[in-house]
Amino acid sequence: MVLNHFNFIRLIMGSPFTKANNMSISEDLTERLHSLVKKNTSVFEFLYNSDSDGYCFFNIQNSSNKFINTALSNTLGYTDTTRDHQAFNVFTEKDDQRMISSALEKKCSDSSNFKGDVTLKNFEKIKIPFTYLGVKLKTNEHTYLLCCFKKQSYQQVKRDTKLAIYQKLFENTNLAAWRCDNTTRKFEYNETWVKLLGYSLDEFNPTSIEEIRTVLHPDELTRARENFVTYLEGKSPFYETEIRMKHKNGHWIWMRSKAVIVSYTEDGEPEWIYGYREDIDKEKKEVEIKKSFIAEIPSATAMLDRNLNYLAASKKWLTNYNIDSKNFIGKSHLDFFPNLQQRWKDIYALCLQGETKRSGEELFVDKNGKEIWLIWEIKPWYNSENKIGGILIYSLDITEDKTKAKEKEINALLRVTKEQNQRLKNFAQIVSHNLRSHYGNSEMLLEMLEEENPSLRNTTTFDYIRKTTERLNSAIYHLNDVILINSTPSCDFIKVDLNEVLKTALINAEMNAAKHKVSITNSINETTHILGIKTYLESIIHNLVDNAIKFSSPERTSFLKITYTKEDLFGILTFEDNGLGIDLEKNKNKLFGMYKTFHKHIEARGVGLFICKHQAEAMGGHIEIESTVNVGTIFKVFLQHE
């Protein structure tokens, strides 16, 4: 077969055209097509390049005069038998009209291509979407339309349906709608949209994304663009931004802009984006007023929206929580408090439902471990529509007041202590001056009396008066010691030669020890020093040595061993005896009490241990005791070593 144009057309068309009423397309028409193709290579190219699911060929003047080829009727599922009756019905009238009118719109001559969408009914009368590509063919008598059809893919159908819905919405909505084609940067808006800015459609000219930016406030533009890009890149589930736009009159209006991607290109790039704007100017300006008001509140205050994002905060809040004052608005509260306890989240949730929560004085510990006393309150705030717009958090740092109160308390205590100390000193003076002077007189009078009446010397009564006077003296003496320890402020300790003090004490006790047959051993090194007060150390040693002798057991050979061991914190001076011992279980509480005695002993005064304890403590140490009745006693004096 010669591959002339005619044959070629037959070949690519698969079969001759069939008229809907089952009449084959006339040879004449085929001839005409052939001659057209011969005249105009673009028609040939059109047919050659159309990767089609079938063709249709009809007369524009008389749209009922239609021909479809076998490929198309097969695509639609018609069999040879059904085709005869129904093939013509594949077109809806509306689709016919559309194809014809789009053909007529092409005013230019033959072979101008055009395309569009149609739905063709298959043999079950289900509408199947097709894209068509048309070409106009003119002969002397008629204008013909040759359309090749391509069944749309499912994706394509979906995309187109979606676009169609949005298109409709865009055209009919009262919302201030806009759309843009991200591939071409084309930007469109409806009438409501331009009205928001005070324009009519005729007055407002921007047609691209870039042009539209000229009416956006530069302060918010960067964030809006960032939000937009984030959304386009799929990093955020929606696009929403609050931005000011320039009104025709020159002032700025707050808008909230929301958008969705409706379609993607074949490469998966976002294509059509539809969105709308709402006027939030009033709402926003209210917030702005609140914002500048809140910034100046002297207490720590934060205003959050329903999503716990910052709308405003007082300067105090920002300093207290170390938040960057330039870059916190719009950020989440949780960004600044990532370890927020569930307790607070629960409180926020309740407040967002309308509750108000407040605290009493509450102790917090900040990240540096500093204790902070706070009073806080969290409550919802309402927008102009009386709906909860978010929450207000308010906290007051009362640490300073607390500290002051504490200081006051301490000062009050200090004052009382001072007064008591003063009274104690006065008391000490009364004891040492007045009481003692009476004793002194008694003593001197007794002496005189004795001299004048030597016969009195051996009478029991006189002897008792004497002893009573002596006991009064020693009682006053010890009382005075006790007061002096308690009223003398701790002074700087000095280095004391332990052995020197001990030796003096032992020499003084020599007679007494011999009388009670107590052998005393001192195994302390010559060069042992402690830090303390010499007179106190003398008193302690004197008392404990005295004690050991006084309460030695007459039933055995008595000893007193004095040793010294140096440990980390203390030097321990130990007095170990095998004397009468003390029942510690019974006497634990009163052991070191004033005027407690444990032995029915003639010289037991009971002040000694009390004084020892306090003197040891005044030197930064203490005294411990181990004792078993009738076995012995160990006193350990803890002293600060050199």
Partner 1 sequence: MNKVKSVCIIDDDKIFIYTLKHLLGKMDFCEDFILYHNGLEAVKGLTARMENQDQVPDIILLDLNMPIMDGWEFLKEVSSNSELKKIKTFIVTSSIDPEDFKRTKDHSNVEGYITKPLNSKKLKEVFNHL
User: Which of 14, 330, 440, 593 forms a contact with partner 1 (CB under 8 A)?
Assistant: 440
Cβ at position 461, least distance to partner 1 in Å: 21
Region binding partner 1 by CB under 8 A among candidate stretches 227-235, 274-282, 323-331, 439-447: 439-447
Region binding partner 1 by CB under 8 A among candidate stretches 43-51, 227-235, 435-443, 548-556: 435-443
**Single-letter amino acid code for the residue at 109:** S
Separation between Cα atoms, residue 94 and residue 128, nearest integer Å:
15
Determine the 3-state secondary structure of 539 from DSSP.
Answer: helix
The Cβ of residue 551 has, within 10 Å, a number of other Cβ atoms equal to 21
- The closest alpha carbon to 323, from 355, 290, 301, belongs to 301
When the beta carbons of 25 and 533 are compared against partner 1, the nearer one is 533
HSE (side-chain half, CA atoms, 13 Å) at 349 = 6
When the beta carbons of 318 and 483 are compared against partner 1, the nearer one is 483
Structure tokens at 261: 């991607």
Q: Which of residues 98-137 bind partner 1 (CB under 8 A)?
A: none
18 touches 69 (CB < 8 A)? yes
The Cβ of residue 83 has, within 10 Å, a number of other Cβ atoms equal to 21
When the beta carbons of 436 and 516 are compared against partner 1, the nearer one is 436
CA distance readout (Å), 215 to 222, 223, 226, 633 = 13, 15, 17, 99
Determine the 3-state secondary structure of 205 from DSSP.
Answer: coil
CA distance readout (Å), 289 to 100, 221, 298 = 61, 22, 17
User: Which of 363, 413, 444, 514 forms a contact with partner 1 (CB under 8 A)?
Assistant: 444
Structure tokens at 240: 């929403």
Region binding partner 1 by CB under 8 A among candidate stretches 405-413, 428-436, 489-497, 549-557: 428-436
639 touches 532 (CB < 8 A)? yes
Q: Which of residues 461-480 bind partner 1 (CB under 8 A)?
A: 477, 480
- The contact pattern for partner 1, residues 567-606, with x = CB under 8 A and - = no contact, is ----------------------------------------
Region binding partner 1 by CB under 8 A among candidate stretches 184-192, 311-319, 398-406, 433-441: 433-441
Region binding partner 1 by CB under 8 A among candidate stretches 132-140, 426-434, 494-502, 591-599: 426-434
148 touches 131 (CB < 8 A)? no
354 binds partner 1 (CB under 8 A): no
User: Which of 434, 459, 490, 557 forms a contact with partner 1 (CB under 8 A)?
Assistant: 434
Alpha helical stretches, state H, 520-583 = 534-550
When the beta carbons of 428 and 580 are compared against partner 1, the nearer one is 428
Q: What is the DSSP string of 627-639?
A: EETTTEEEEEEEE
- Please provide the distance, in angstroms rounded to a whole number, between the alpha carbons at the two ends of the chain: 127
Region binding partner 1 by CB under 8 A among candidate stretches 108-116, 275-283, 314-322, 438-446: 438-446
- The closest alpha carbon to 73, from 91, 54, 97, belongs to 54
User: Which of 443, 450, 497, 538 forms a contact with partner 1 (CB under 8 A)?
Assistant: 443
Structure tokens at 328: 């916190």
Region binding partner 1 by CB under 8 A among candidate stretches 72-80, 312-320, 430-438, 571-579: 430-438
User: Which of 201, 416, 448, 494 forms a contact with partner 1 (CB under 8 A)?
Assistant: 448
- The closest alpha carbon to 283, from 314, 254, 324, 247, belongs to 254
Cβ at position 595, least distance to partner 1 in Å: 19
Query: What is the per-residue burial (b if ≥16 Cβ within 10 Å, else e) of 412-430?
Result: eeeeeeeeeeeeeeeebee
Cβ at position 482, least distance to partner 1 in Å: 13
429 binds partner 1 (CB under 8 A): yes
When the beta carbons of 22 and 535 are compared against partner 1, the nearer one is 535
When the beta carbons of 215 and 476 are compared against partner 1, the nearer one is 476
Cβ at position 503, least distance to partner 1 in Å: 23
When the beta carbons of 188 and 443 are compared against partner 1, the nearer one is 443
When the beta carbons of 156 and 480 are compared against partner 1, the nearer one is 480
Tell me, by CB under 8 A, how many residues bind partner 1: 20
Region binding partner 1 by CB under 8 A among candidate stretches 224-232, 376-384, 432-440, 524-532: 432-440
Separation between Cα atoms, residue 358 and residue 347, nearest integer Å:
10
Alpha helical stretches, state H, 517-560 = 534-550
Q: Which of residues 480-509 bind partner 1 (CB under 8 A)?
A: 480, 484
When the beta carbons of 59 and 543 are compared against partner 1, the nearer one is 543
When the beta carbons of 114 and 477 are compared against partner 1, the nearer one is 477
Cβ at position 532, least distance to partner 1 in Å: 17
In terms of phi and psi (left: phi > 0; alpha: psi -120 to 50; beta: otherwise), the region of 250 is left
The H or E element spanning position 115 is strand 113-121
When the beta carbons of 363 and 448 are compared against partner 1, the nearer one is 448
538 binds partner 1 (CB under 8 A): no
**DSSP-assigned letter for residue 309:** B
560 touches 575 (CB < 8 A)? yes
| Chain contacts with partner 1 (rule: CB under 8 A) | 428-429, 432-434, 436-437, 439-445, 447-448, 451, 477, 480, 484
